[in-house]
Each structure stands twice: as C-alpha cells, then as structure tokens.
Amino acid sequence: MLNLIQSLRWLMQPKLWRFVCFVSSVVGLICYPLSSSFHHLFGYWRWWKILLYTVFCSIISFAVLFAKTRERSSTLRVKAHLAFLVLIITSVYSFFFDKLFKGKTDAYGLVSCTAFAIMSLGLSRQTHFGFEVDLLYFFCGAVIVQLMKIKLWLVTVGASFSYSLIIVRSSLDVPLGRSEHLELQGAQDQVVIEVDLPIQVNTSTENDDLGFLVTQADNSQEGNRDKDSIMARLMSCIEALEKENENLINMLSELVNQYIKGNRISVLQLLPDYDVMMHTMPLGIINDLHETVKLMVESGFEEECCHVYSSCRRKFVEECLSTMGLEALNMMDVENWITACKVTLRTLFPNEKRLCHRVFMGFSSAADISFKEVCEELTISLLSFGDAFATGIHSSNLLCHVIPRVFKTLSNQILEYELLFSDQCSVSLRNEALKAWKRLSEANEGIFVMLESIICGDTVKAIVHGGGVHTVTCQVMNCLREICEARDINRRIEYITTPNRKENSSVISIKFNWIIELLESNLEATSKNYTDIALGYVFMMNNLRYIEAEAKKWKARNILGKHWFRKHATKVRQNFELYQITSWNTVLEFLKQDKDESVAPSIVAESMKEKISLFNMHFEEICNVQSTWSVFGRQLREHIRISLENVLLPVYGNFIDKFQDAYGKRAYDYIEYGISDIQDQLNRLFLVIHPTVRSL
C-alpha cells in the first residue's frame, strides 16, 4: 500500500506530466500526417501544406510545453468559449472523417489517436479550463472506433485503455487513501454526502471532475452551522496536510545537507522555487482545506481557524529545522545560525506565505494573521541570536571574528525581512529585524577598537616560520572585509529607513586607513625579530602583498583612496629591494672583476679562482636556506625568481667567460654551476607557497 501511495505521489509531479504531455503531442503530430486518414482528408502533400502543418505543430507543441498550471479559470465565460470551440472542431472533424474515410485504420492513425489521448490527460494536469476533458473523451472514443475497425473484439482493449486514462485522471487530483465526509448543516435541513472514493472540493472543477452534485443549504442558514462539525472537518483536512509533510521535509533536508556539505546548489541559494509546496502537495488537499477554511471564516470562526492552521504549520517548520539539525543555536556555532537563516528566509517562510495565502484565498486579513503566527516564534529566536552578540560581553578575539559575519548576514537579509513581512499585521517582526540590525551596526563600529587591541597585543610579536603571512594579518583583513562587503547593503538599508541620512565616507576611510597603518607598523616591528635580516624583509613583503590582495578583492578603493594602492605597491617594492641587497649583493660581490690593468694576469686568474669557489659555497647555502621560506602566491614567487635571474645571470655569465679565458679547459674543474644550473637553483627558492587565507 505504501509503495502504491509513493507511486501515485510521484505521478502527481507537474514536471512529469509536462514532459509526458509534450512527448505525446510530438508523437501524435508526427504519426498523424503519415496515416491514411490524413491523406483522405487533406490530399497529397504540397509545399504550402508542409509549411502550414509545420507551423501548426510548432504552435501546438510549444503551447503544450509552456502551458501554465491554473487552479481555476479567471472567468467561467472563458471556459465556456473554449469548451464550445473544442466541440465545434471535433464535430466538424468527425463529420468529414466519417464521410470520406470508410476503410480500415492503419498503425499511424491508431498511434496518433493514442498519443493525443495521453496528451489530453497530461494537459488536464496543467490547466483546468475544462476543454481538456472533452479532448480526452474524444480521442479515447477515436481509439476505440479505430480498434473496432481492425477487429471487433479489440473494443475491449480500447475500452480498457480509455477506462485507465479516465481513472488515472480522476485519482491524481485528490488526497490519497481517505474518503471525504462533507457536512452542510442548516437550521431546518441537513444534507450529508458520503462517497467511498476520494473527492476534491474545488469551486471551479468538482462537478466536472467527480460527476456528482453537492446540494448546499440556503446561504441565509449558513450562520447556524454546528461549530464542532466544522472544526472536525478542519482537523481532518489538517491531518491530511500533515501526512504530506514527511515527504516534503525529507526533500528539503536532502537539499540542505548538500548545501552544508559544500555541494553548492541554486538555493537562492537553497531553493529558488518558492512554489515547492504547491507543486509537491496534491491540489485536492489544498483545495479541500481552502473550502473548509472558507466555511469556518464565513461562519464566524476566523480566530479558531487561524490558530489551528498556524499551529500545524509552525510544527512543520520546527520539524524541518530539527531534521536538518538546525534547531539548536549556540554562540559558538555561527555557521549553523547562518544556514538556519537562509533555510527559513529563502525557503520555508516564502513557501509558507504562498501556501497560507492560497489556503486563505479571499480572506487576506486571516492569511496575514496566520502567516505571522507561523513565523513569529522562530523569527524572534533567530534575531535574538544575532542580538546577543551586539549586547553581550565576549572576548575581543571572538567578536572580531564573529560579529562582522553575523552583521553581514543580517544586512543581506534585511530586505528579505522587508518583503516577507510587508503587511501591517507583521510590521512588528519587520521592526524587530531592523532593531537587531541597528544594534549590530553599532557593535560593528566598536570592532575597530577591538582590532587595535589585537594588533597591539602579544600575538603579533610572534614571528612566523618561513616569513609567511601572520595570523593577525589574516584576522584583521578578514574582519575589515566583512565590514566592507556589508557596507553597500547597509547604505541601501539606511536609505530605505532614513532617506535623508548622508553617510560620512571620510570617517570610515580614516578608520580603515588607521587600522591598516597600525597593522603594518606592528608587523614591521615583528620583522626586526628575525635573526636573518633578509627573512624579515620577506616577511614584510608577504604581509604587505596579502593586505593589498585582500583589499582588491573587497573593492576597497572608495574607502582607502585611489592613491593607497600605489603607495602600498611602493612599500612592497622597497622591501623586495632590501631583501635582494641583504641576500644577494654579497654573492654578486664575488663576481666582480679587478679593473686594475697593472695587476699580473696570473694574480688575476688566482683571484678569480678564489672568487668562484666562494660564489659556489655561498650560492648553495642561500638556495638551501631560502628554499624553506614562504612566499605569498605564485605571482610573487615568479616575480622574485625573474628579478634575481635578470640581476645574477648576466654578471655570472660574464664572469664565467673571463674565467674560461684565463684557465682554458681547466676552468671546468672549478665551475660547479652552468647558466641552466643557476636557473634550476633559483626555481627551488620559496617552495612553500602561502595560499590566500580568507577565514581562520
């Protein structure tokens, strides 16, 4: 039984029926022009017939593929006109077909009618104008007639096929596995209609789809309905709704788990489809619940109805978060809170809003009240989590790392709060979000003071092995990045809330420049602690390049000023020149040649032999040591290597040439490195490449 229910639920998917409808229409339109009936009716093919039929097929196929799902027609007149048009077309076709074609059918004609019947079934799942049923009956009848023309006993096959399509259509639009009990109780008379098959209560389609008439009591007697019986009907509808929740929760949980594990999915980022509930739940359940809600509100039980519905949906939202492992929020799990915010604001709440307004269609006030009750408790909980960082007392290290992320997340979501809670009933939730954001904004401003204490603390004084990027540099720049990325959103929010407010850009610019200047000053003091002076300059070069690269990533040109990057590049270049002087100038000194012509050639040759020996020793030592040093990024490493080659290789090549002239073939006994060997050794420098650190 469970497998049957799951199969039927799978058959209810709109995308499946859209695909079935499109494929069936294509098969039917391809087979029909190949059939003998087509040639009897329209004659032999001509170029203009081919053109017209191609255009006709394209229109029909695209119309079927992109037909929009409609729960009810906008007007009954549209349905009537469409039904009449289909009646005329099918009648005229039947007349000419019977008049001109008296022979047996062929396979193409049979396949085309079968495909068109399935297309009509699929179309009835996408639109509800009413003409789809007429088309289904017409093509089912055509299949039966054509099978009878082949063999009379094949009527059983045609009847079985037609019966199965009609039963499938009548079963897919209703709740699974339960009978419906409708009670309409008046002051003087009561009508009870009970059927064994599931039914769908829908003001536009129930008579067409189910083939029976529900007799209602006079409207003047509706106020006297028994509250208990109406409430029992509502609880029955809520029970059916809750049965559908399990599949929906599992589907949402799977998508969220993929997101958490790093398989980024397009969920705005979680789910871009705000109609996922409407597409997953059977329309029969939703329509039935709408009719029951309408009955309760019109009978004066709006408050009770809203309370029962919101309690059910609030429980669903809580179960969703619990299944996803997002229900428990603590101060150390910011990632959990961020994911919970995305799931609720971008998936659960928008879907609940759409479902709520569909169920309470025609009663906007009740819909707004119910939606607020569904979201209120969880919204306050999420906002309180962020608010705790703004008002609590925590370590400066924790706040500098966490508050900017919490502030940026809430900044990104303020506009979503504005859209979700746009009605007057939910204005309090919208205001709570703005208050929490403003308090976090104030706390975010205080982070600059905390950054100063971190930069001036003992941690920054510790040297980094290999001269890599300091952890304090990463932490400070990450913090500034979060503030900078949230800045544009904040300006838009402040414009919405206080249109006349002007941002003081000079204040934020001064703060950013001061923090970075203070950081660089303390890093320079730390660089003096290296016993190898050259490594101190490499340390400064790495950290300065990291600061520059991060500033470019968060597009801080408007904050730091257009001259800041040029000035910063100059600092990097100066540290590279100092590194080159302290590391390689000594080696280059060994390659200098005596220019005194009065010195005897033998003495010059002996001096060159001593110099090449010293060069070999120092060059090998420098390469071995600096191969263990770190460098920030392959681009900086390549720049250092090319610069050293440009300085070292010409001087070394010239020295080797002179040395060979002086010693001849014996020179190779003293030359350990050729030009290519020098290049290979330089390629071994800075083998530890420091990656771009975005968070710690």
Angle at 84 between CA 83 and CA 85, to 5 degrees: 90
Per-residue pLDDT, 449: 81
Count of other CB atoms within 10 angstroms of residue 685? 19
For the chain, what is the mean pLDDT? 75
| Dihedral sign for Cα atoms in the order 271, 276, 280, 286 | positive
Q: How far apart are CA 399 and CA 451, in angstroms?
A: 10
Percent of the chain with pLDDT over 90: 17
Answer for the pair 73, 81: CB distance below 8 angstroms, yes or no.
no
pLDDT of 194 strictly over 80: no
Answer for the pair 483, 553: CB distance below 8 angstroms, yes or no.
no
- Tokens of residue 77, six digits: 């007149």
Q: How far apart are CA 187 and CA 220, in angstroms?
A: 10
pLDDT of 528 strictly over 90: yes
Helix 364-391 vs helix 302-323: crossing angle, to nearest 10: 40
Q: Which residue has the higher pLDDT, 55 or 487?
A: 55
pLDDT of 4 strictly over 60: no
Distances (CA, A) of 325 to 150, 208, 340: 62, 45, 9
pLDDT classification of 642: cutoffs 50, 70, 90: very high
Q: How far apart are CA 112 and CA 31, in angstroms?
A: 5
Burial label, 679 (beta-carbon count in 10 A; 0-12, 13-18, 19+): middle
Per-residue pLDDT, 470: 93
Per-residue pLDDT, 596: 58
Q: Which residue has the higher pLDDT, 611 or 458?
A: 611
Query: ω before 13 within 30° of 0 (cis)?
Result: no
Q: How far apart are CA 654 and CA 682, in angstroms?
A: 18
Q: Of the given ranges (372-376, 411-415, 513-517), which has the lowest mean pLDDT? A: 411-415
Q: In degrees rounded to 5, what are phi and psi of residue 190?
A: -135, 135
Per-residue pLDDT, 114: 84
- Tokens of residue 181, six digits: 């009990």
Q: Of the given ranges (239-253, 285-299, 459-473), which has the lowest mean pLDDT? A: 239-253
Collapsed DSSP state (helix, strand, coil) of residue 470: coil
pLDDT by residue (tens digit) across 112-156? 788 887 877 777 766 656 667 777 777 787 778 777 777 778 778
Q: How far apart are CA 110 and CA 245, in angstroms?
A: 42
Question: What's the length of the chain?
Answer: 696
Closest by CA to 355, choosing from 374, 331, 340, is 374
Calculate mean pLDDT across residues 379-395.
76
| Residue 435 identity (one-letter amino acid) | K
Percent of the chain with pLDDT over 70: 71
Per-residue pLDDT, 666: 77
Per-residue pLDDT, 663: 78
pLDDT classification of 607: cutoffs 50, 70, 90: confident
Per-residue pLDDT, 130: 62
Answer for the pair 386, 444: CB distance below 8 angstroms, yes or no.
no
Angle at 479 between CA 475 and CA 481, to 5 degrees: 115
pLDDT of 390 strictly over 80: no
pLDDT by residue (tens digit) across 577-600? 999 999 998 888 888 876 655 566
How would you classify the pairing of strands 630-632 and 688-690?
A: parallel
pLDDT of 489 strictly over 70: no
pLDDT of 514 strictly over 80: yes
Calculate mean pLDDT across residues 317-328.
81
pLDDT classification of 177: cutoffs 50, 70, 90: very low
- Tokens of residue 106, six digits: 């062929």
Per-residue pLDDT, 283: 84
